[in-house]
Amino acid sequence: MEPTRILVVEDEDEIRELIALHLKREGHEVDAVASAEEALSLASGGVYDLLALDWMLPGASGVEVARRVRKQASGDPAILMVTAKAEAEEIVEGLEAGADDYLTKPFEPSVLIARVRALLRRNRRSGAGGGRPDGGLDGRQNERDKQADAPVRLGGLMIDPRTYEVKCGDQPIHLTPSEFKLLFALADSRGRVLTRDGLIAQVQGEGVSVVGRTVDTHVFGLRKKLGPCADVIETVRGVGYRVKTDA
């Protein structure tokens, strides 16, 4: 994996040093700070590819840091919440604030590294600006890509993979990258049931050790944001989710 620049925000010295150590061993450039104020000051420059962010911080919560980074920072870094808060409502709050993934303490270092790899892969594929390079593709491949990138309409819901724009009627809906990818995966497979494991592979990245509950919390937050258009997503008990064929 190409070296990237990561900001670790954690007020407990031992945990901060542990996270930074494992990331450095992967070849990443790592800065590590202990407060929300330091994090916001550094992140505002837009030099980081990823933030590993604790919830409980001096000065402001990690949720508030994530929210402000999404509004103020350039570069659109991936955000991984690393926290002991593990209730579904708390996970949803973190994701809605702008986090892309959520890792609960205590954690295995191998899982941390897998999550970071998956988030960085996802950002590279999206080009950090939503674009998809055309170089090296033949005409037929270009045509397939154009069809794949066409906006998807499900009743009053519009999903545009080229611009990462989502609207319910005329109302814009602001989704995290994880939420957008989950919604588009469901929409692109309209009528087919996608299992939790299948969605995990598409949203989190292959090889990441997560459980079905992670997908459930993403869907919970996604439905909340979709408002009147939320009923396009159906739960198939014991299996996963699908988008209605008549949407």
* SS3 assignment for 42-82: HHCCCCCCEEEECCCCCCCCHHHHHHHHHHHCCCCCEEEEE
pLDDT tens-digit map of 99-157 = 888 888 888 888 888 889 888 877 665 554 333 333 333 443 344 344 446 788 888 99
Tell me the three state secondary structure of residue 19.
Answer: helix
Position 11 in a domain: yes
Is 95 within 8 Å of 218 (Cβ atoms)?
yes
Quick one: 106 and 174 in the same domain? no
Determine the average pLDDT of the residues in 147-173.
84
Torsion-angle region of 130 (φ positive above 0: left; ψ -120 to 50: alpha; else: beta): left
Ranges assigned E (strand) in 120-232: 152-154, 157-160, 165-168, 171-173, 194-195
Confidence at residue 202, expressed as pLDDT on a 0 to 100 scale: 66
Confidence at residue 73, expressed as pLDDT on a 0 to 100 scale: 57
Q: What confidence tier does 230 reach under pLDDT thresholds 50, 70, 90? A: very high
Separation CA 9–CA 245 (nearest Å): 44
pLDDT at 237 over 90: no
CATH number assigned to the domain comprising residue 63: 3.40.50.2300
Quick one: 213 and 120 in the same domain? no
Separation CA 223–CA 65 (nearest Å): 24
pLDDT higher for 118 or 247? 118
Domain of 187? 139-243
pLDDT higher for 217 or 139? 217
Confidence at residue 215, expressed as pLDDT on a 0 to 100 scale: 78
Separation CA 28–CA 22 (nearest Å): 9
* Residues facing 241 on adjacent strands: 194, 235
What's the CA angle centered on 56, arms 55 and 58, to 5 degrees? 125
Quick one: 101 and 35 in the same domain? yes
Separation CA 22–CA 41 (nearest Å): 24
Confidence at residue 71, expressed as pLDDT on a 0 to 100 scale: 83
CATH number assigned to the domain comprising residue 154: 1.10.10.10
pLDDT at 47 over 90: no
pLDDT higher for 84 or 127? 84
Q: Of the given ranges (129-143, 161-175, 190-204, 210-224), which has the lowest mean pLDDT?
A: 129-143
pLDDT higher for 180 or 209? 180
pTM of the model: 0.55
Separation CA 239–CA 225 (nearest Å): 23
Determine the average pLDDT of the residues in 217-233.
89
Quick one: 147 and 120 in the same domain? no
Average of per-residue pLDDT values in the chain: 79
> How many domains are there within the chain?
2
Quick one: 155 and 118 in the same domain? no
Confidence at residue 14, expressed as pLDDT on a 0 to 100 scale: 93
